[in-house]
Structure 1
Amino acid sequence: MGRGDLTNAEWHRLESFLPRGGARGGRWSDHRRVINGVLYRVRTGVQWRDLPERFGPWETVYKRHRRWSADGTWAMLLSRVQAAEDAEGRIDWDVSVDSTAVRAHQHAAGARKVPSRGSSKGGRAGDKPGRSGAAGTGRPIGGGDQIGECLGRSRGGFTTKIHLAAEGRCRPLALVLTPGHYGDGPQLDRVLEQVSVPRTGVGRPRNRPDHVLADKAYTSRKNRRYLRRRGIRHTIPERLDQQRHRHNRGSDGGRPAGFDSERYKKRNTVERAINRLKGFRAVATRYEKRAYVYLGTVTVATLMIWLRT
């Protein structure tokens, strides 16, 4: 077993959930070896062609990763691990929300346009994801050309932004990709709607945190109304301009938002979760042209954080 490969305990947690049959009824290449190849690439950020020979043909490893990113297999494995953790009471449901910008490598540009319906021109077969968006959902990541691949120009250059919700033990619960120039506040409801941890027995998935913490970028009437409507308690500081505006309106300005400064100190959990994610070099720099493949890469890194924390 090489450094970073699945341990026997980690493999046993995943083995029963993996697909049994290959494409067109054939047999898959050894799942464990291929997954270890994906982990090696996610951890080191090497080009797929430079994978060591012990993982088998690099094309097999890459195609498996692309397929499982498109059909939701990586997201399914993550949700299974989260469900097992929740069943044992090991998830802290004080959830923090934030985002991080990821610099896109020059090789991430130039993806072929996805053809419109009825058109035979455009990308390769198998490039269309069946399930995209946040981990475990069918929501679209974006729309348009470069925006559809979640690439945008920001002060950091050519970037993609990862919006995430992290539970109290610094593990990501949900992921959303947007172009790098998108703001944080408008994505709060999208991120929280992706929080969905299945039950191991009977019952609906848990999708409502006990408490949500976020910084000033998320303070808006729209976000506070959304959280109140869902019955989610929250700690989000007000910006100074909002405080002045409310004060100038007098009694029409309403009451100040409650703020628990001691509880707000726990918001650093999402910063530490981001730090863990960016310890994977293929997450810290985006090399993939397709947004759903990059989301699969981030999901694999998240899966390993859950398995090893």
Structure 2
Amino acid sequence: MDKIFFIGLAIGLTSRIIMLNLDQEQYPTQPNMLLSQLVLAFVASSLGALLVPALIERSYTSITFLSLAAEQFRQVRANRRNTLQNLEDLQLVTRGNSFIEEIARTYEVRNYMCIITSCLTVGMFYLIKAELNMAETSNLILSSASGLILAFLLKKVLRRQSIGDIADVVPAEISFVNGSIMKIGELQGITNIGLEVDRERYLNKGIGIEIIPKDKNYTNAGILFDPGQRQAIMYNLYSRLGLYREFNEPAFVPLPRRNPQNESIMVAYIPMEKDLDKVIEAVKSCPILASAKGKNLSLKNYTIGKKGSA
């Protein structure tokens, strides 16, 4: 019992450590709070490792501890949400409520993953012991392997799609018409930049990009139309590449605009370092928010720019 408990605990912690790198990739600059995350993973893994022996001993009150743990993890989600919302006013580009909720939900789910992997590891140990009567060392190896396999499967399942999966990102020229009206590619009327010095900054340091739904698909376009998803893309750019502006320079806040010609999104952005490849990669790596999915499903058999079935 002691060996399999500690192995189940270790597998649960390992599953959380595996996900830490993925979290940092999908939610850059998110305060990792490594110690806090590992402590919560330890608690969750301990509960998962103790659950199977408790049920075998018919100690059904152990379910009460699971409910208490679930409540605690929901509180962690609420605390994370409140922390990020309190930081919004300090950001040059805000995350937006949809992105904040996505981050908070993600960190809650990670704790449940620890419970599942540690519980499976211990459960496999007792199952193999009862059915196959295998040597303890071999049993420990098999149960540990099953837990690790589940951890990597969960990592694959929980990995979110990114903008690069549903859209192509291409460069677009920034220009000005009628003196001060910004134009990106073929779309004009983005915003009015009154000061000449501000227009010069856009022309010299700015990068224009166009985010085009793949396969001319309205479902993909619906994701890009979502205001929360657009704001997440802007924050992903900011968190990875910075933004060349001060708090009192509203002219340089990135404004994603819809191009009705092909349902793409046009953006003018001024990174700290003018590097087109990095800007495109930052846009493509932005995770797709759950709240942005499910838009325009009734048009899934239609293609953009063409009436009738695809």
Q: Do they superpose with TM above 0.5?
A: no
Q: Which has the higher helix share?
A: 2
Larger Rg: 2
Tell me the TM-score normalized by structure 2: 0.24
- The one of the two structures with greater contact order (alpha-carbon pairs below 8 A, sep at least 6) is 1
